[in-house]
Amino acid sequence: MAIHSPYSDKSILILDDLPEMRSSLRTQVGTLGCEKVAVSSNVKDALEQFKTTRFDVILCDYYLAGGTDGQQFLEYLRTRNVIGRGVLFVMVTAEKGYQNVVTVAECLPDDYLLKPFTAEALKGRVQRLVEKKKRLLKVDAMQDKGNWPGVIVACDEIITAKDRHMVDAMRIKGNALIMAGKADQAVEFYQQMIAMRPMPWAQLGLARAMHQSGDVAGGKNALQSLIIESPKMMAAYDLLGRLHQETGDHDEALAVLDSACEISPNSLARHRAIASVAEETGDFSRVEQALNQVVKKTRNSPLRETKDFARLGNALTEMGEPAKAVQLLEEARTSFKEDANNPLLAAVEAVAQQKAGRPEQAEQALSRAMQGGVSNLPQDIAMAVAKACLATGKQDEGESILKNLVQGAPDATGLHGKISGVLREHGLTERADALVAESMREIVQLNNEAVRRARAGELTAAAEMLVDAAQRLPGNVQIVTNASFALLFDVYTNGLDPAKIRLAQQFQQSAQAQNPKHPKLAEIADLMGRIRNKYAAGKA
């Protein structure tokens, strides 16, 4: 029956491991008038289908075969941007209660359908969800692009209209304020939400915003009371665990994450979080225990992460079992072909091979780790590569990576401590005391030199120096803001240069995102205004 239907052009994917459930859902979807319906029995097959088809709606059963569930699948899709926010993801389940196992608000399905349901109910639900996506089309597209200021404006339009999507827009706006680095506005916004009604997502948002504004204690308090009121709000445990970890309260962090695991034992993200806290305290048997579960659950699934294997390998080496580590890491390297040269995996393997008495293999692994360059590696990976250098006797290379890490994060005293610790572990006691101080001194000298040149009227040279440094050390907010300021001052004094202004704005935005309260940001904004006035006046 080819009845005209608003859904005839919608493409739908049904994912369920039970054949009879698949055909049952298919029958129901058929009554919607959908012509493009695909079915999958497992995640692997579903991911294959994503390569060739753009789906509008995904109906996914919570229980999937092969050690994964619908929530893990959704987290994978969203975190890897396999699907945009415009794609509808509906979780099908026989009971309620899965809503709260979600770790990240971003990874909530658009809706839950409780079995059994009639085709009529399915139709109504899909219809409403399609309408909602239509209303949020602009907002979703800007979210996908990370255009948070745009998202805020678009949400405000919907909030002002006070229609049925008002609260959806509020939820998105709160997150957008945080993502745009407007922590204080976010705190105020969530407080207004809570005054309207203390919804758990608003309380969680308030905690996130407080944390971002630097009020970690306030964030912790908000989360602790949220957990008492909504004991199944798993995201609250996860964030509280992270805050405890940040403030160095490792025992509290583990206690919170453990209690979360008791309520919901299947979250991969939570086991990973436990492993990361235990790594910091050096409790590697705990790391092994947590990551073993993750690796066991994902080993044969497309949802596996190379990083889990690397970290588990590292834990095994630390526990004095380098042979076991080598076995695991070689398995990962040979079976995950696309990640054979993953720098973390290779760095961890280098250490394991060295400790297992195979220096040649260690050397090969290290060169794989460094072949893509080391300057742009994320902090934890750079650290692992530095360790591999030190373990294989390449002290200069190792120290140079560590120096870059210190200079890239001059305020991260925790990281500095770790760096000294690593040097000490490798018998470099003197360097452990000196390296951090030397690296910091170098940055101060660089800043002083730039200031001297600027005072001497060499504005362009001063700006160039700082731009170089800022590009090498994007995490050093002081350098990044100084580079932005120097570029603008050069423009203010020596004349308009669009390329310099663009670069200055990039640095400004990067600093804004990292530390919205940095005092130099106000000076930059002020100077920007003066440039505008000066050149606008010139034109007139």
Partner 1 sequence: MDFADLAAFTIHDAKNRLALVATRAEASGDAETLRGILESSASLTRLLTYYKAEKNSLGAEIDARVPADLVNELLQDISKQTTLTVSADLSAAPTLWFYDENLVRMVLLNAIYNALRFAQKKIVISAVDRNGWLEFSVADDGPGFPPEQLGAIDNMLPVSRDGTGLGLYLAQRVAALHSNAGRTGRIELINKGGAVFTLRLPQ
Where on the chain is the footprint of partner 1 (CB under 8 A)? 18, 20-21, 24, 27-28, 31, 94-96, 99-100, 114-121, 123-125, 128, 162-164, 166-167, 197, 199-201, 230-232
Task: Measure the CA–CA gap between 240 and 257, rounded to whole angstroms.
Answer: 8
- Closer residue to partner 1, CB minimum distance, 115 or 532: 115
- Closer residue to partner 1, CB minimum distance, 116 or 373: 116
Residue 125 CB: number of other CB atoms within 10 A? 17
- Closer residue to partner 1, CB minimum distance, 216 or 263: 263
Q: Mutual orientation of helices 477-494 and 520-539 as an angle, nearest 10°?
A: 20
Q: And the tokens for 215?
A: 């009020």
Closest CA to 401 of 385, 378, 412, 424: 385
| Residue spans of beta strands (DSSP E) within 69-147 | 88-93, 111-114
CB of 30 to partner 1, least distance (A): 9
- Closer residue to partner 1, CB minimum distance, 20 or 338: 20
Task: Measure the CA–CA gap between 292 and 334, rounded to whole angstroms.
Answer: 19
Chain centroid to Cα 523, Å, comes to 30
Q: Angle 91-96-99 (CA atoms, 0-180°, nearest 5)?
A: 65
CB of 20 to partner 1, least distance (A): 6
CB under 8 Å to 410, separation ≥6 — which residues?
440, 443, 476, 478
CB contact at 8 A, 66 and 300 = yes
- Closer residue to partner 1, CB minimum distance, 116 or 498: 116
- Closer residue to partner 1, CB minimum distance, 160 or 429: 160
CB of 229 to partner 1, least distance (A): 8
CB contact at 8 A, 351 and 388 = yes
Whether omega for the bond prior to residue 116 falls within 30 degrees of 0, making it cis, is: yes
Strand partners, 38: 13
- Closer residue to partner 1, CB minimum distance, 67 or 200: 200
CB contact at 8 A, 288 and 318 = no
504 CB-contact burial (10 Å; exposed 0-12 / middle 13-18 / buried 19+): buried
Q: Whole-angstrom distance between the N-terminal and C-terminal Cα of the chain? A: 69
CB of 14 to partner 1, least distance (A): 13
Q: Which residue has the tokens 């530390």?
A: 515
- The pairing of strands 11-15 and 36-40 is parallel
The count of C-alpha atoms lying within 13 angstroms of the C-alpha of 421, restricted to the half-sphere facing its C-beta, is 10
- Closer residue to partner 1, CB minimum distance, 51 or 197: 197
CB of 32 to partner 1, least distance (A): 13
CB of 293 to partner 1, least distance (A): 20
CB of 262 to partner 1, least distance (A): 13
CB of 166 to partner 1, least distance (A): 7
CB of 17 to partner 1, least distance (A): 12
CB of 500 to partner 1, least distance (A): 47
CB of 364 to partner 1, least distance (A): 50
CB of 1 to partner 1, least distance (A): 13
Closest CA to 269 of 300, 244, 237, 313: 237
Residue 118 CB: number of other CB atoms within 10 A? 10
CA distances from 268 to 63, 238, 241, 275, 304 (A): 15, 12, 15, 11, 10
Phi, psi of 277 (to 5 degrees): -65, -45
- Closer residue to partner 1, CB minimum distance, 100 or 510: 100
- Closer residue to partner 1, CB minimum distance, 199 or 216: 199
- Closer residue to partner 1, CB minimum distance, 192 or 493: 192
The amino acid that residue 178 corresponds to is I
CB under 8 Å to 259, separation ≥6 — which residues?
237
Indicate the length of the chain as a whole number. Answer: 540
CB of 103 to partner 1, least distance (A): 17
- Closer residue to partner 1, CB minimum distance, 24 or 247: 24
- Closer residue to partner 1, CB minimum distance, 25 or 454: 25
CB of 266 to partner 1, least distance (A): 15
Phi-psi sector, 329: left (phi>0), alpha (psi -120 to 50), beta: alpha
| Residue spans of beta strands (DSSP E) within 73-151 | 88-93, 111-114
- Closer residue to partner 1, CB minimum distance, 99 or 281: 99
CB contact at 8 A, 87 and 56 = yes
